[in-house]
Structure 1
Amino acid sequence: MNLRVFRGEDPGGVLWQPRLEFWYRANKARGTLPERYRDASLLDVYDDCRASVRYFTRPLKVRHARVKERTEWLDATHQAHYYETPIGTLREVRAYDDLRLSGARSEYRVKSLDDLRILEYVLQDEEWYWDEGQYQRDLARVGDRGAPQFYPRRTPVQGLFIEHMGFEPTIYALMDNRERIEQYAALAGAADDAMYEVICRCPVPIYNLGENIDANLDPPPIWREHLLPWYRKRTEQLRSAGKFTHIHVDGAMKPILGLMQDCPWDGIEAATPEPQGDVTLEEIKEALGDLVLLDGVPAVYFLPSYPESILMECVERVVEMFHPRLVLGISDEIPPDGDIERVKKVGEMVAALG
């Protein structure tokens, strides 16, 4: 069913594909799984909710010849990660919740333009390869619950924003040292070429550009100049290799809605309508045209603060507006305090649709 949606064929029903991984891990760790799930695996929960699995494998691997990586816990909730190279060391720190399940960077690895040179060394020291053994084990584990797909790393400038440098320092660097940032982006893109060569040869049919787009960080000028050229290059490259692609847009969308069809990808993941997002379902539909919508149901509707009837009405509207170009899901994940019974009811509802 997954691939039929992307091929533009009749999927034979509505594909319900919520992401339950974080909900399951968080509730298992804090001992709050519902009684019937006490001894259940994650796949058991998916089956009980009559749901498909989206992300379950990542056999794309990287190793280094000269760079050494290590991690250490600085205290109960802060973990440092080091990249040790012959020309210097990068350190980043992530701050985690008490269960160590969710974290955010409190210290970026690139703290100055001098650190870019070390990051470039790390990228140039990479060797990408495919772990076929892991891939086959993952396929056997998940079976027919979903088509394999995963997301490579972010494109160069978006990677600086989110992973390496932070948004504000990157913006200042773009204004004050544009040539240096462009030099880095070109080198990082060349490093990505080796990664995409492996991806294009592998058997996975669907790829997500896991960019976490937010129009507040990626407004039209940034989008057009620093992001879109890379998106076009990679989607065209993947399409030539027979792959489908979609991009993860889980933040504000309104300023870039009109740009969603400027790239030859096949779908948009995690587009989030009101009241959680800043756009309506009608605006999303107009912007996507014939592109596949992955998700579409606001995650907040799975919280007890919203009536269940609003959730079910939303599901009906999303199916009516987007099916068959739809992979129905939660934009973008059910929160730990979300009601799993609602996930199951949506599964039963869409199963009844045929």
Structure 2
Amino acid sequence: MTSKERILAAMNLQRPDRVPLMCQFSIGCMMEQLHPDPVAFWYNQQTFADGLIELRERFRFDGILVSLHGHSDDWKRDLLSREELGEGSVRLEYPDRTELHCWQDLPVVTFRSPRKSLDLESVDVERDIPGQLDYIPVSHNLYFRLDPENLYGIFDYLYSRVGDSCSIHGEITSPLDYYLDLFGYEQGLMGLIMYPAKAAQILQRFTDGVKRIARGMCRTPVDAIKISSPFAGRGFISSEFYEQFVLPYESQIIREIRQAGKFVYIHTCGSIGDRLELMQRSGASGLECLDPVPVGDVDLEDAFRRIGREMFIKGNIDSINTLLMADDAKAEEDVRRIIRTGMTLGRGFILSTACSIAPLVPRHRIEMLHELVMRCGQYGDETEQR
């Protein structure tokens, strides 16, 4: 099987020749491994895409996740200065902000004046909530601006380079993320309690915008789309609020993607053991992350027994406690156990870190993953699947 065929089989709940391997890299991990110009890696489409290809080939993953799309040259506008602070560290100065780009992490942005916050109770949904989303809310103060003339160019470029040799996945952001970014976590979460009808209107407005992005992405060569929904776990909202403020909106996006003939999976960080069946009700093809203790609360065997007949599972290596902190014997033991569980209990299983690979995970630990799927992840007639 090719890498692409292997991933497609797993997402289609079919048995491939061996366990597919595909992890998401954190931005910090990518830059620690590649040591590119950090500004170019963040803002330049070809630099970013070439980096994704190099990492995929270096670590022999079966797929590529494209976490940033719609690259724009707007960052050059109003740029006052660029200062080299040392190896792999650059400061950009703008009239309204300072950006620090480095190899270790996401860009850190400091605005000279605090952003004006909206009042949820009095917000005008049609006027104040964008109908056309032109940004990705990446992190605090960090926005990746989308070029409407180049929303999906990176996918065509990647496909021109790798063709059908591996699986290409896109990524979109959940409506809840946009909502919490706009109002802040405190006001946003309180708003779900105090103004649920208004919150629902806002979430629907963001959902419509995300669906537009997803529809266009489905016309590219991607095989699947990941919905990044990190704040929908138990650490932020109850399962009851998940059912009210997450499930209806992500389900709409999922229907759009599946009707277009693409696979779609949800990535939610932290503790989700109390809502696996709710997430299955979304209609998603699969789930990613499923953080184990102590980062989350998911037991992989339990997850496969509860939802593994209907969904593929992509996970769930602990990037910190296994790949970064454990000794070699413990790291290998953890990964072998996850492979064994996925092979015997899962209909569709892709070996991956739970969340993204942490920035300081060393190269040899990432290389270990392919060595282990080759050694322990080969399906055969004797492999018992339940």
TM-score where L is the length of structure 2: 0.71
- Indicate the residue corresponding to 2:9 in structure 1: 4
Q: Which digits, 9 at most, give the CA deviation of each residue in 1:26-48, with x for residues without a partner?
A: 355499xxxxxxxx966444334
- Residues 1-354 of structure 1 correspond to what in structure 2 (within 5 A)? 1-20=6-25, 22-29=28-35, 43-56=53-66, 101-103=105-107, 111-113=117-119, 116-117=123-124, 120-121=127-128, 123-124=130-131, 134-144=154-164, 146-155=166-175, 157-161=176-180, 163-212=181-230, 213-290=232-309, 291-300=311-320, 301-303=322-324, 305-323=325-343, 325-352=348-375, 353-354=377-378
Structure 2 unaligned regions, length at least 5: 1-5, 38-49, 135-147, 379-386
Please state how far the C-alpha of 1:299 moved relative to its aligned partner. 0.5
Please state how far the C-alpha of 1:325 moved relative to its aligned partner. 1.2
CA contact (8 A) 2:272 2:297 kept: yes
Aligned to 1:207, the other structure's residue is in SS state: strand
The alpha-carbon distance between structure 1 residues 58 and 180, as it changes in their structure 2 partners (threshold 3 A), is: same
One-letter amino acid of the counterpart of residue 365, structure 2 = R
One-letter amino acid of the counterpart of residue 255, structure 2 = E
Aligned to 1:245, the other structure's residue is in SS state: strand
CA contact (8 A) 2:59 2:366 kept: yes
Structure 1 unaligned regions, length at least 5: 32-39, 63-68, 83-90
Please state how far the C-alpha of 1:202 moved relative to its aligned partner. 3.9
Aligned to 2:254, the other structure's residue is in SS state: helix
One-letter amino acid of the counterpart of residue 340, structure 2 = E
Aligned to 2:63, the other structure's residue is in SS state: coil
1-structure distance, mates of 2:260, 2:131? 24
The alpha-carbon distance between structure 1 residues 104 and 217, as it changes in their structure 2 partners (threshold 3 A), is: farther
2-structure distance, mates of 1:171, 1:347? 41
CA contact (8 A) 1:245 1:265 kept: yes
The alpha-carbon distance between structure 1 residues 22 and 326, as it changes in their structure 2 partners (threshold 3 A), is: farther
CA contact (8 A) 1:17 1:295 kept: no
The alpha-carbon distance between structure 1 residues 256 and 105, as it changes in their structure 2 partners (threshold 3 A), is: farther
Q: Which digits, 9 at most, give the CA deviation of each residue in 1:236-267, with x for residues without a partner?
A: 22222211110002222233234232221111
1-structure distance, mates of 2:94, 2:263? 33
The alpha-carbon distance between structure 1 residues 183 and 105, as it changes in their structure 2 partners (threshold 3 A), is: farther
CA contact (8 A) 1:129 1:198 kept: no
Aligned to 1:123, the other structure's residue is in SS state: coil
1-structure distance, mates of 2:36, 2:159? 29
The alpha-carbon distance between structure 1 residues 72 and 257, as it changes in their structure 2 partners (threshold 3 A), is: farther
The alpha-carbon distance between structure 1 residues 138 and 30, as it changes in their structure 2 partners (threshold 3 A), is: closer
RMSD: 3.9
CA contact (8 A) 1:124 1:191 kept: yes
CA contact (8 A) 2:171 2:225 kept: yes
Please state how far the C-alpha of 1:321 moved relative to its aligned partner. 1.8
2-structure distance, mates of 1:223, 1:79? 39
The alpha-carbon distance between structure 1 residues 100 and 121, as it changes in their structure 2 partners (threshold 3 A), is: farther
2-structure distance, mates of 1:57, 1:297? 20
2-structure distance, mates of 1:72, 1:220? 47
Aligned sequence identity (%) = 16
2-structure distance, mates of 1:70, 1:119? 30
Please state how far the C-alpha of 1:143 moved relative to its aligned partner. 4.2
Q: How many residues align?
A: 330
2-structure distance, mates of 1:261, 1:44? 34
The alpha-carbon distance between structure 1 residues 7 and 120, as it changes in their structure 2 partners (threshold 3 A), is: farther
Please state how far the C-alpha of 1:191 moved relative to its aligned partner. 3.2
